[in-house]
C-alpha cells in the first residue's frame, strides 16, 4: 500500500519453522529479529523451543521408513530436484547470503553456486554408496555373504553458524542421501538462507519430514536433541564452545548416539565421503548358494 508521497510501506516478514513439510509457528510464540552484518533489520525468525524440537523428531521418525525404503536412484533424483529449484531462486539466495554473511554479491553468488553444485554432487553418490561401502565377503561354505549399508535413522544437526547456506547444505545433504532423516537447527544470526532452503524443499519432491529446519539457539535446543532417545546421531559442527560440545556429547551417550564432534572446516573444499559413511550401518546377510 503506498503512502501519501507514493512510497510503498515496507512489508516486514516473520518467518516460520519447517516441520513435517509444513510451516508452523513456534509453539512458544517467540520470535527474534534478524539483522544483516551492518545491523540493518532483515526479518523476524521464529525461535524454536523444546516442544518444536520434539515435534520435529516425531516428523522425522514418521518420514524415515518411506525415505529409507526408496531406491537409492530415486533419492538421487530428489536431491537433484532440490538443486533445480534452488537454481530458479538463485538471486534470492544470493541476496540473503550477501546480507547474512557480509559478502559482496559476486562472492555470495559463488557461494550459492557451490551450494547448488554440492546438492548435485551428493545426488550423484546416492546409487553408488552401496558399491563403495558394501562388499561381497569370502566365506568357507556354500553361501553368499554380503555387507550392505543401511541408514542409521534420525540425525540431529546443529548447523554451522558462519556459513549460512554452503555449510548447511554440506551437513544436511550427506545425511539424507543414504536414507536418514534430519532435524537441523540453523545458524542463529544467519537463518534466512536456511528458511528459503526449507521453502525449496517444500516445493520439490522431498517428502515432508525428511528434513526439518528449526531457527533459534542451538545452545537452547541442542541439549534436548542430544538427550532425545529417538535421535540416532548428532552433528555438533555448529558448536564452538568445547565445554558445551562435551556436555552435548555426554547427553548423547544415553542412547549411544553417533556423535560427530566439532572441528575447523573449510566448507568450500571437497566434502569427501566421511559424513555420508558416518551415518550408515552395515548389515551382513548370508544366503545359501542354490544348486
pLDDT tens, residue by residue, 221-275:
999 999 999 999 999 999 999 999 999 999 999 999 999 999 999 999 988 899 9
Q: Locate 104 and state its grid cell.
A: 559482496
In the chain, where are the structural domains located?
48-288
Q: What are phi and psi of 15, to 5 degrees?
A: -80, 155
What pTM value is reported for the model? 0.92
Residue 283, pLDDT score: 85
Q: What is the CATH number of domain 48-288?
A: 3.40.605.10
Residue 2, pLDDT score: 59
Residues 6+ apart with CB under 8 A from 73: 126, 127
Residue 146, pLDDT score: 81
Residue 4, pLDDT score: 66
Q: How far apart are CA 276 and CA 149, in angstroms?
A: 11
For residue 169, give the nearest of 228, 100, 215, 122 by alpha carbon. Answer: 122
For residue 167, give the nearest of 100, 74, 84 by alpha carbon. Answer: 100
Residue 251, pLDDT score: 97
Q: Are the C-beta atoms of 89 and 97 separated by less than 8 Å?
A: no
Residue 285, pLDDT score: 86
Which residues in the chain show pLDDT less than 50? none
Residue 209, pLDDT score: 98
Q: What is the DSSP letter of 117?
A: H
Q: Locate 32 and state its grid cell.
A: 527474534
Give Cα separations from 106 to 88, 110, 163 (angstroms).
17, 6, 16
Amino acid at each position: 500500500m503506498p503512502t501519501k508521497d507514493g512510497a510503498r510501506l515496507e512489508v516486514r516478514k516473520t518467518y516460520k519453522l519447517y516441520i513435517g513439510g509444513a510451516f508452523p509457528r513456534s509453539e512458544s510464540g517467540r520470535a527474534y529479529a534478524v539483522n544483516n552484518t551492518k545491523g540493518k533489520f532483515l526479518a523476524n525468525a521464529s525461535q524454536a523451543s523444546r516442544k518444536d524440537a520434539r515435534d520435529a523428531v516425531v516428523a522425522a521418525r514418521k518420514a524415515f521408513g518411506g525415505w529409507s525404503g526408496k531406491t537409492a536412484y530415486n533419492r538421487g533424483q530428489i536431491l537433484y530436484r532440490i538443486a533445480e529449484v534452488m537454481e530458479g531462486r538463485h538471486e534470492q539466495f544470493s541476496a540473503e547470503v550477501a546480507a547474512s554473511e557480509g559478502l559482496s554479491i559476486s562472492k555470495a553468488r559463488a557461494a550459492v553456486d557451490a551450494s547448488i553444485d554440492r546438492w548435485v554432487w551428493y545426488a550423484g553418490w546416492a546409487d553408488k554408496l552401496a558399491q563403495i561401502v558394501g562388499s561381497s565377503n569370502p566365506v568357507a561354505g556354500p553361501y553368499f555373504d554380503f555387507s550392505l549399508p543401511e541408514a542409521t535413522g534420525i540425525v540431529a544437526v546443529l548447523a554451522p553458524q558462519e556459513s549460512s547456506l554452503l555449510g548447511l547444505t554440506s551437513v544436511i545433504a550427506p545425511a539424507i542421501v543414504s536414507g536418514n532423516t534430519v532435524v537441523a537447527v540453523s545458524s542463529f544470526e544467519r537463518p534466512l538462507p536456511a528458511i528459503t532452503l526449507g521453502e525449496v524443499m517444500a516445493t520439490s519432491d522431498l517428502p515432508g519430514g525428511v528434513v526439518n529446519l528449526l531457527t533459534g539457539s542451538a545452545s537452547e535446543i541442542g541439549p534436548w536433541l542430544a538427550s532425545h532417545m529417538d535421535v540416532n546421531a548428532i552433528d555438533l559442527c555448529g558448536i564452538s564452545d568445547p565445554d558445551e560440545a562435551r556436555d552435548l556429547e555426554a547427553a548423547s551417550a544415553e542412547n549411544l548416539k553417533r556423535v560427530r564432534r566439532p572441528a575447523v572446516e573449510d566448507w568450500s573444499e571437497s566434502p569427501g565421503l566421511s559424513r555420508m559413511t558416518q551415518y550408515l550401518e552395515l548389515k551382513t546377510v548370508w544366503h545359501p548358494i542354490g544348486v
